Amino acid sequence: MISKIKGTNDIIEDSRIWQYVEGQIKKVAQNFSFTEVRTPIFEATELFNRGVGNETDIVQKEMYTFEDKGGRSITLRPEGTAPVMRAFIENNLTSKGLPQKFFYYGPMFRYERPQAGRLRQFHQFGIELIGSPAPLADAFTILVAIEMLKSLKLDGFKLRINSTGDDNCRPQYVEALKEYYKPHLTDLCDDCKVRYERNILRLLDCKIDAKYAIGAPKITDYLCDGCKTHFDLVKRYLDELNIEYEVDPSIVRGLDYYTRTVFEFKYPSLGAQDAIGGGGRYDKLIEELGGAKTPSVGFAFGIERLILALGIENKLPSFEGIDLYIIAVDKAQRAEVLRIAKELSKYFRVDLDIMERSVKSQFSSASKEDARFTLVIGEEEMKSGFYTLKNMKDGTQTECKFSDLIEILSKER
RNA sequence: GUGGCUGUAGCUCAAUUGGUAGAGUGUCGGACUGUGGAUCCGAAUGUUGUGGGUUCAAGCCCCAUCAGCCACCCCA
């Protein structure tokens, strides 16, 4: 037997749930006037090296990179923002004016060790708000995310925000951190010794060396005037919108392109993989990828984790049965059943037996599909033109003509 | 990439100190030859994840490998 690749999933029984979650989120995005962009699921490797950052774990060890037959280095997209920005630049969308608001949805790929809520192929739904340097844009992005979670009726999430500064102030903060950690360097865990040189911000969220992080300098004390004002205004907008949040100086995102505002939605009862969404501002990314300087904000949800969280809260949609199951008593009525199904499928969800099974098993099938009604067609019905319609909830049966069916089925529900 | 736990029918799980695989549920059929979701009866389905090894004998012990889960790591 050939089985699926490690860390991937077939969505079969749950496809209904997925359609619901995708549908709700998409509706919110569309109602806020975002338009969808669909980019290829593979890109030139260079896009992620430059966009996500050469030093990040994603680029260093998690990408599905291969050479195609033409010798090009190709990478299955590990995230959605860099591809959307590439498309923005390549299609010269600046010419259409700013801002521009996009959403995207689809599979992402990262070579990681799978566990609950972490897959090698997973799905992200994200939005990008391109062109605005204003704190209002950050708040708007967060607002849209919150509205999406509300549309799914999810409750138990927590919003955490932070500012990671910009080119003016981050270097000073990095220096301060290096100073602070220097005397402890020999006591740090092996990972942190590497992080000290490569990406010192990561020391802040290390679980082993958490005791040192407590007394570490805080980014919020090092923000330059521009970044500080920006952050304050973002917080003020959130306050005015009654959005609850916690400022968490340890939030360090794993993608290099973030500047200033970063945020995360956590769902604590999910276990180790508890981030259901995250994002932030990326003022330099488009420039980095060869476009004009275009400050932007965005975020993405992980659909798998969202569905896990909804499951915990019992907020997944319940199964809705079909409207009508049409039953043929004998072979002679099978064609008539098909004809009726053809007509009624224009208005209702119908089904019929294609296994040529007994009447009894056709009723079983109708029950299994939670059909509201069954329609029995036998020799008598064919002769008289009156079909036997049975209400599967209360078991009552009535004789009715084909022309009455639409009206009867339209009642209730 | 590191460490730990697990792997038996479609699903959930049994199988004494190693003795040659069973139940519930689901599926299909029948009791009821034109009436379901209840009940009863019957049937089908396994190279015990895979490959080696030890043994007279392995689902059970050993090794390897694959997959899942948990934690690290990382992030959505």
Secondary structure (DSSP) of A324-388: EEEEESSGGGHHHHHHHHHHHTTTS-EEE-SS---HHHHHHHHHHTT-SEEEEE-HHHHHHSEEE
CA of A12 to C1' of B11 (A): 15
For A286-294, which contacts have Cβ atoms below 8 Å and span 24 or more sequence positions? Answer: A286/A85, A286/A88, A286/A89, A286/A130, A288/A50, A288/A51, A288/A257, A289/A47, A289/A50, A289/A51, A289/A82, A289/A85, A289/A86, A289/A89, A290/A89, A291/A85, A291/A88, A291/A89, A291/A94, A292/A94, A294/A94, A294/A98, A294/A130, A294/A131
CA of A81 to C1' of B70 (A): 31
CA of A115 to C1' of B54 (A): 35
CA of A177 to C1' of B9 (A): 59
Q: Which residue is nearest to nucleotide B28 (CA to C1')?
A: A361
Whether residue A245 has pLDDT greater than 80: yes
Rounded-to-integer distance, Cα A105 and Cα A77, Å: 12
Question: Which nucleotide does the CA of A305 lie closest to, via C1'?
Answer: B76
User: What pLDDT is stored for residue A374 in this prediction?
Assistant: 96
**Max Cα distance, chain A (Å):** 96
Rounded-to-integer distance, Cα A39 and Cα A21, Å: 21
User: What pLDDT is stored for residue A413 in this prediction?
Assistant: 61
User: Residues of chain A with pLDDT > 90: what percent?
Assistant: 76
Q: Which residue is nearest to nucleotide B67 (CA to C1')?
A: A6
Question: Which nucleotide does the CA of A364 lie closest to, via C1'?
Answer: B36
CA of A12 to C1' of B29 (A): 28
Strands A246-247 and A158-163: parallel
CA of A16 to C1' of B59 (A): 38
Tokens representing residue A285 in the block: 């990314």
Q: A99 preceded by cis ω (within 30°)?
A: yes
Q: Point out the least confidently predicted range of A196-200, A215-219, A230-234, A401-405.
A: A196-200
- Residue A157, classed as helix, strand or coil, is coil
Tokens representing residue A136 in the block: 């209002």
CA of A35 to C1' of B21 (A): 58
* Interaxial angle between packed helices A225-240 and A135-151, expressed in degrees from 0 to 180 and rounded to the nearest 10: 40
What average pLDDT score do residues A356-384 get? 94
Query: How would residue A187 be classed by pLDDT, with cut points 50, 70 and 90?
Result: confident
Q: How many beta carbons lie within 10 A of that of residue A105, not counting itself?
A: 20
pLDDT tens, A271-321? 888 999 999 999 999 999 999 999 999 999 999 999 999 998 989 988 889
Whether residue A264 has pLDDT greater than 70: yes
CA of A185 to C1' of B73 (A): 20
Q: Which amino acid is at A309?
A: A
Question: Which nucleotide does the CA of A81 lie closest to, via C1'?
Answer: B76
CA of A358 to C1' of B31 (A): 15
| ipTM value | 0.88
Mean pLDDT of all residues belonging to chain A:
93
Whether residue A206 has pLDDT greater than 90: no
Q: Point out the least confidently predicted range of A47-61, A184-198, A367-381.
A: A184-198
CA of A248 to C1' of B51 (A): 51
User: What pLDDT is stored for residue A192 in this prediction?
Assistant: 81
Question: Which nucleotide does the CA of A122 lie closest to, via C1'?
Answer: B76
User: What pLDDT is stored for residue A320 in this prediction?
Assistant: 86
Question: Which nucleotide does the CA of A119 lie closest to, via C1'?
Answer: B76
CA distances from A373 to A200, A282, A324, A349, A390 (A): 65, 55, 5, 11, 5
Q: Are A325 and A374 in contact (CB under 8 A)?
A: yes
- Residue A321, classed as helix, strand or coil, is coil
Q: Which residue is nearest to nucleotide B68 (CA to C1')?
A: A115
What strands lie across the sheet with A121-130, from one edge to the other?
A35-36, A100-109, A121-130, A296-302, A275-281, A259-266, A158-163, A246-247
Question: Which nucleotide does the CA of A370 lie closest to, via C1'?
Answer: B37
Chain B footprint bases within 7 A of protein beta carbons: 1-3, 27-30, 32-37, 66-76
Question: Which nucleotide does the CA of A273 lie closest to, via C1'?
Answer: B75
pLDDT tens, A106-141? 999 999 999 889 999 999 999 999 999 999 999 999
CA dihedral A214, A217, A218, A223 (to 10 degrees): 180
Question: Which nucleotide does the CA of A267 lie closest to, via C1'?
Answer: B76
